[in-house]
Amino acid sequence: MPEANEPLRRARERVESPNASGESLTRQELAELVNAWIYENTGATNVAEIDANYIGKLEQGKIRWPQDEQRRAALRVVLGVATDSELGLRRPRREPPREMGVNRQTFLRTVGAGAAAVGSARVIDMFAFSEPTPVPSVVGASEVAEVRAIAQTFGTWDARYGGGFVREAVMAQLRFAVQLLNVRCSERTRGELLSAVGYLGHVTGFMAFDAYAHDDARRMFRFALSCAEEVGDWHLRAKILSSMARQSIWCGDPDSGLTFAEMALVRSDRLTGTEQAMLHTARARALGKLRRSQDTVMAVGNADDAYARAEPANDPPWMAYYDGAQHAGDTGHALWELAIQGRFVTDAATRLETAVRQHGEAAARSRAISQTKLASLIMVTGDPLEAATLGGGALEAATPLKSHRAADDLRALSGYASAHRDLGEVTALRGRIEAAVATV
């Protein structure tokens, strides 16, 4: 007879019914909430709806592991937990139990027989957590500081190398940090914890954005924004909305990008000069995509004025990236949308050149993207041989990155270069780009 899943039943009974005040959530209500979450958050139409009978089988242990990840995600969200194991959900064993003795030759064939063996599902399962990191019973200043440090570390890594390689690692850190929100702490500590977890959620979201995991990014950004708004952290709110604007613009929805940027500029008097500059550049980039030339130029001017008032000592830690090079690059990107059509070419090129020249190694991704944009602009409006040289430098800068955005900009450069395919240098550059981005 299967063992009952008591953690799942207790988790359900801890949640209040939406239909009967003071009563626990029923199995049918849980099923309806799970179905609604899947539809609202994923739009999935290929996931069959569940009912009270299905929930009953989960609680009775007849089903130990829902195969559909969306169902498991919905159960975690509705029941307010961070991991499947908290709901008593266990992936079925792939292998039957083995004897205690280990055959040396079998072990070597399994683990040491080369890359194919090391990458096998059986070996990867060896690294699953059997003893998850315990959640503390009380959260204090040290835990808050650790979450902030983790966010800053991963944010630095993301800017230097791109988000593709360590995205799973930062997601694991976020899952743990979210559990801290349910732990006892002082009112002041809870506010600081919400800001720290929101900061980490933003870093996680931006890494997902850079890796083109756009749905993941949107969920993380929404979660981070809810943390910032719950605690009234206007600085974190501004940063998250800025990133949401950038993602929307990148995904071909500049109208939404403009909305997010303007939402963040509400009560801009509460923000630093640097933050205001960041938001005005996001607004300018949206306006540039919308081909609103005069508004774009005015927004760039507002960004310049705000940055002239910047006092880095007053900025929150996540704004350290926004220096003169970043400002030049972001405003150059905004004007690029007009320059590629033959307007404000010199201003856009000068700003992008400044960004490429002044960005340090810590901002390797920003430098590579600005250099690629500059090469594309020169390829269209100037000397294609000069553009090929710039493009070669951009390719070298982008090659070590794990960034889908940087790779797509290189593809765009190759597309612009096709108009000059009769030039050997340009043809060579296109071949190098094609080889470099083939696996990205």
Where do we find the tokens 């049918």? 28
Residue 278's nearest CA partner among 294, 264, 291, 295 is: 264
Contacting residues for 138 by C-beta, under 8 A, at least 6 apart = 183, 184, 185
> Cα separation of 269 and 381, whole Å?
40
The two counts, helices (H) then strands (E), for the chain are 21, 0
pTM to 2 decimal places: 0.70
pLDDT per position as a tens digit, 185-224: 999 999 999 999 999 999 999 999 998 999 999 999 999 9
The ranges assigned to domains in the chain are 6-86, 137-232
Query: DSSP assignment of 378-436, as one string?
Result: HHHHS-HHHHHHHHHHHHHHHTT---HHHHHHHHHHHHHHGGGTTSHHHHHHHHHHHHH
> Cα separation of 61 and 432, whole Å?
56
> Cα separation of 138 and 136, whole Å?
5
The sign of the dihedral angle between the CA atoms of 290, 293, 297, 302 is negative
b/e burial code for range 91-115 (CB count within 10 A of at least 16 → b)? eeeeeeeeeeeeeeeeeeeeeeeee
Most confident among 81-90, 123-132, 383-392 (mean pLDDT)? 383-392
Would you give the end-to-end CA distance of the chain in angstroms?
A: 49
- Helix pair 424-437, 404-417: axis angle to 10 deg: 150
> Cα separation of 337 and 289, whole Å?
6
Banded pLDDT at 254 (limits 50, 70, 90): very high
CB atoms within 10 A of CB 232: 12
Helical ranges in 67-166 per DSSP H:
69-79, 104-111, 115-118, 121-124, 141-161
Task: Say what the pLDDT of residue 330 is.
Answer: 96
> Cα separation of 244 and 202, whole Å?
10
pLDDT per position as a tens digit, 26-79: 998 898 888 888 877 776 555 578 888 889 889 988 888 887 888 888 898 888
